[in-house]
Amino acid sequence: MKKVGVAILGLGVVGGGTYQILTEHREFYQRTQNVDIVVESVLELNRERTRALGVPSDKIASNIAEIVSDPDVSIVVEVIGGVEAAREYVLAALNAGKTVVTSNKELFCKYSHELERAAKRQNAGLYFEASCVGGVPIIRTLLDGVQANKISSMMGIINGTTNYILTKMTNEGTSYEESLREAQQLGYAEADPTADVEGFDAAYKLSILASLAFHTKVPFTKVFREGISGVSKEDIADAKELGYILKLLAIGKQSDAGIEVRVHPTFVRKDHPLASVNDSFNAVFLTGDSVGDVMLYGRGAGALPTGSAIVSDIIYAATHSENKYSTFKNTANADKDTNFISDFKSAYYMRLTVEDKAGFLAKIATVFGKHNISLVELLQKPGKAEDGKVPLVLVTHETHEMSIRKAVAKINSMEGVAHVDTVLRVVS
């Protein structure tokens, strides 16, 4: 039986989960995968962690050089996180001809071309299933499951922290701040939650997934990004009233016109399969030209779910000598020629505060008409009109982002008529 030596860089949450899965399942993989996967080495300075996991002391390396020069190690798992050290270690491993398995979305998103070149040069494998959507095998599916399709659209709930917060706001009517605080207490959100709540994490993942789905490199910098920190109780309540659920969606679309990639809070119609993806669960909803709609659902984070993705990559690497970096086969072309669409089309939800005076509706309607915006729904809410102001809620048909921005600017300039409080995008 083929024996494959693994080194794990970092025994934090995901590294610990990976270590645990590999050691507990060794016999299981021998039996079912016909391969003997052995953890030969770990790089972890924190002795509490190595002790808690029961790592034998002769398997604890002192530095990366020891690992990359170890002939018994053929697969290096990078789960230290961060960018600089991870990049250095991964390059060192690839340059030494080791196959690398990483969960590092930021690293992969920012440096995939460099890592790819190093991997190809040495004919080393480079795998990153765990970088996106935890245990859900979305990357394997894009590469080997729906690769017969031209993918026109991908919509995902790919950040567990924000989904937890929005689910709580929806189910319990709590504010953003309260919900974030609870997510932090439960360990679902970090002390500095910026990367999650402002959509950076989702944007990194979308960059990777869209690159695979659309067969061209989609740089992180092209992703339109809006977080959930501005979402109010009123937005959540309006969504419900109009038959939607508010979710942070990562959306990628490809057509003859080009590619659009965006992360933003979105009204999702409540009977859409994504609408019932709750708490810290994630899902990706794909549309292919042959397969139609496909959705993958599961846990987007956590020691064991993410460890599952890493170990699946390890097994794949250990049992395939081809297609080690099939990603690049698909993303090498067209980088420079791709048209990225910033003036994308969407339907919109808008909440305005209007002066309750005769003719205000005609004035607003004129602005919309001028920008070719037509309405699906208009809801004048019974507001506290003491100061002569009332809330107005509307949903538009599909229109251009730029038309909406211009219309909003125009309405906000019409003092004494109306003010736009919120604009959110809508998927029906």
Q: Which residues participate in catalysis according to the annotation?
A: 205
- Does position 280 interact with a second copy (CB under 8 A)? The reply is no
* 352 vs 374: CA distance, rounded Å: 16
CB of 135 to a second copy, least distance (A): 4
Which of 17, 156, 160, 199 is the binder for a second copy (CB under 8 A)? 17
- Does position 294 interact with a second copy (CB under 8 A)? The reply is yes
Q: How far is CA 67 from CA 40, 61, 63, 124, 324, in A?
A: 9, 7, 7, 15, 21
- Residue among 21 and 394 whose Cβ is closer to a second copy: 21
Burial (Cβ within 10 Å: 0-12, 13-18, ≥19) of residue 308: buried
Secondary structure (3-state) at 198: coil
- Does position 186 interact with a second copy (CB under 8 A)? The reply is no
* 300 vs 277: CA distance, rounded Å: 11
CB of 73 to a second copy, least distance (A): 19
**φ, ψ for residue 63, nearest 5 deg:** -160, 170
* 220 vs 205: CA distance, rounded Å: 9
- Residue among 9 and 136 whose Cβ is closer to a second copy: 136
- Does position 265 interact with a second copy (CB under 8 A)? The reply is no
> Bridge partners of 255?
258
Secondary structure (3-state) at 221: helix
- Does position 323 interact with a second copy (CB under 8 A)? The reply is yes
Classify residue 313 as left (phi > 0), alpha (psi -120 to 50) or beta.
alpha
Residue 338 tokens read as 């791709």
- Residue among 176 and 244 whose Cβ is closer to a second copy: 244
Which of 86, 101, 228, 315 is the binder for a second copy (CB under 8 A)? 315
Task: Give me the torsion for CA of 234, 238, 240, 245, rounded to 10°.
Answer: -80
CB of 324 to a second copy, least distance (A): 11
- Residue among 224 and 328 whose Cβ is closer to a second copy: 328
Q: Quickly count: other Cβ atoms within 10 Å of residue 178's Cβ.
A: 15
- Does position 168 interact with a second copy (CB under 8 A)? The reply is no
| 8 A C-beta contact, residue 199 and residue 225 | yes
CB of 20 to a second copy, least distance (A): 9
- Does position 1 interact with a second copy (CB under 8 A)? The reply is no
With CA atoms as reference, report the closest residue to 351 among 299, 302, 412.
412
CB of 92 to a second copy, least distance (A): 26
Terminal alpha carbon distance of the chain:
52
Stretch that binds a second copy, among 60-68, 168-176, 295-303, 369-377 (CB under 8 A): 295-303
Which of 321, 386, 413, 416 is the binder for a second copy (CB under 8 A)? 321
- Does position 123 interact with a second copy (CB under 8 A)? The reply is no
* 32 vs 38: CA distance, rounded Å: 15
Which of 51, 320, 370, 381 is the binder for a second copy (CB under 8 A)? 320
- Does position 141 interact with a second copy (CB under 8 A)? The reply is yes
With CA atoms as reference, report the closest residue to 9 among 64, 84, 55, 53.
64
Residue 146 tokens read as 């729906």
Question: Which value, in Å, is the radius of gyration of the alpha carbons in the chain?
Answer: 24
CB of 208 to a second copy, least distance (A): 16
Classify residue 82 as left (phi > 0), alpha (psi -120 to 50) or beta.
left
Which of 60, 96, 295, 423 is the binder for a second copy (CB under 8 A)? 295
- Does position 311 interact with a second copy (CB under 8 A)? The reply is yes
Residue 378 tokens read as 């208009």
Stretch that binds a second copy, among 60-68, 101-109, 196-204, 302-310 (CB under 8 A): 302-310
Helix, strand and coil content of the chain, in percent to the nearest 5, comes to 45, 25, 30
Q: By CB under 8 A, how many residues form the interface with a second copy? A: 57
Pick out residues in 27-66 that bind a second copy (CB under 8 A): 28-29, 31-34
Stretch that binds a second copy, among 21-29, 174-182, 390-398, 400-408 (CB under 8 A): 21-29
Pick out residues in 326-385 that bind a second copy (CB under 8 A): 326, 329-330, 333
CB of 215 to a second copy, least distance (A): 5
- Residue among 153 and 326 whose Cβ is closer to a second copy: 326
Q: How far is CA 389 from CA 351, 359, 361, 366, in A?
A: 13, 14, 13, 20
- Residue among 104 and 141 whose Cβ is closer to a second copy: 141
Burial (Cβ within 10 Å: 0-12, 13-18, ≥19) of residue 389: middle
CB of 201 to a second copy, least distance (A): 20
Residues of this chain that bind a second copy (CB under 8 A): 17, 21, 25, 28-29, 31-34, 135-137, 140-141, 144-150, 215, 271, 273, 276, 288-299, 302, 304-305, 307-309, 311-312, 314-316, 319-323, 326, 329-330, 333
